[in-house]
Structure 1
Amino acid sequence: MLCLDLVQLMIFQKLENNIIKTVTGAHLQSATTISAIICRRQRTTVWYQK
């Protein structure tokens, strides 16, 4: 179960990274906000996994 969750998280991160790169071209500030949200979400995920 944990393995599957980690794989899904990695795939999700790759998708979000692609979205950030796309957004960065036109809206740098929005991308920064998205990054901050993703950072918070990742910290929460890691916290729950421990």
Structure 2
Amino acid sequence: MKIFNAMEQQQQQQQQQQQQQQQQQQQQQQQQQQQQQQQQQQQRGKVTSRSRYEE
């Protein structure tokens, strides 16, 4: 019986670790989206400054 219990505990721990890894991946994706938004804003700012010089 003890052996079976130990096996079950190990499986539960592994599942918890996998869930934590998935959460970390989601956080990384959110950070990447924020970086992309910042880059787009910077590019827009550069375009407007260039058009002023052209005028």
TM-score relative to the length of structure 1: 0.49
The higher-RCO structure (CA 8 Å, 6+ apart) is: 1
Give the number of the structure whose alpha-carbon radius of gyration is greater: 2
